[in-house]
Amino acid sequence: MSIQWYPGHMDKAKKKIKKRLNLIDVVIELLDARIPLSSRNPDIDEVLKDKKRIIALNKKDLADPQVTKQWLDYFSETAPSLAINSLSGNNVKQIFSLADQLTQEEQAKALERGRKKRDVKLMIVGVPNVGKSQLINQLGNKNKTRTGNRPGVTRGEQWVKLQQGFELLDTPGVLWSKFNDEEAGVRLALCGAIKEGRFDNELLAYKLVQILQESNPERLKERYDLDHLSPDTYQLVADIGKKRGCLQSGGKVDRNRVSKIILKEFDEGKLGRITLEQPPVES
C-alpha cells in the first residue's frame, strides 16, 4: 500500500523554516506519541542540524504509556524530551522550563554585557495534524491560532506572543517528498497526518486490523464483542462489520462503512491506548 502526499506549500514552508532559523533560540520538535519515528521528518532534522531543541511526544493519552516511557528514554539521549497532551494541556507548561534551561548560558552572557533579558524565541515544527496549533494555544492560554482536526490547516507562519517571556513562530506542518519506508506512510495515514482521499480507507483499515491482530488481539475482541479472531484479516473485518450492523441488502457487509468506523475508533482512542512502533533496539 503506497501512500504519497507532498503539497507544494510544504516545500515552501521548509524553505521558510530554514530562512527563519537564525531568529530562533529553541525548536520544539512535536511528534505523535503513537508513531514517534514515523512522524519525525528527516528533512527537518537536516535543516535544524545543531539547533537547540525540545522533543515533545504529543497525544500521549492515545499511546501506550509504557512504550511512551521507552521512547522518552530513547530521545532523551539527544535532547530534552517530554510527553504531552496539547488538547488538555497536560505537561505543556514544562516546555517553558526546559527552554529556559537550554538558553540560560546565552541569557547570562547578555546580562553580563548589560543587556536586558529578552524574550526566548521558539519555533514549533512537526508533520501535519500532530497538534501544533493546539499546543500554541495552550502555551499562550489564548485561542490565537486556527486549529482543525485535519492536516494542512495552518498554511502560513505567524509570531505568537506567549506568557513568561517567550515568543513562538508558528509554521505549517511539513511532510517529506517521498516515504522510503512504505509502512511509515501507512502509520502517518492512520494517525491523520495525510489528508483523507490520498489513500484507500478499506486497505488502510485492513492494515490497522492486521497490526492489531498481532499486537493487541484482546482489544479487538473486547471492542467488537468477538468470541474469536479469524486469522484472515479480510474475514475479520467482515466479522466486525456484522457486529456493527454494517450490512447492505442481502446481508452483504458494507466494507467501506465498517472500514471508516474502525479508523475513526482508532483515531478517537476507543480501541485503547495503542502505539504502532517501538524504539529501535541497539545491536
Residue ranges of the annotated binding site for GTP are 58-61, 85-86, 173
Residue 209 cell numbers, joined = 486490523
CA-to-CA distance for 221 and 247, rounded, in angstroms?
A: 20
Helix or strand (DSSP H, E) at 58: strand 53-58
Q: For residue 95, which phi and psi values (nearest 5 degrees)?
A: -60, -40
- Which residues share a beta bridge with 170? 158
| CA separation for the pair 223, 253 (Å, rounded) | 18
Neighbours of 214 (CB within 10 A): 7
Alpha helices in the chain (DSSP H): 8-20, 42-48, 65-75, 94-102, 104-112, 132-140, 182-190, 201-215, 217-223, 233-243, 255-267
| Cell matching residue 200 | 484507500
| Residues annotated in a binding site | 58-61, 85-86, 173
**32 by DSSP, 3-state: which?**
strand
167 SS3 class: strand
Q: Which of 270, 149, 269, 266 is nearest to 208 (CA)?
A: 266
Cell numbers 511539513: residue: 174
Phi and psi of 59, rounded to 5°? 60, 40
Select from 191, 178, 147, 138 the least CA-distant residue to 28.
138
202 residue type, one letter = E
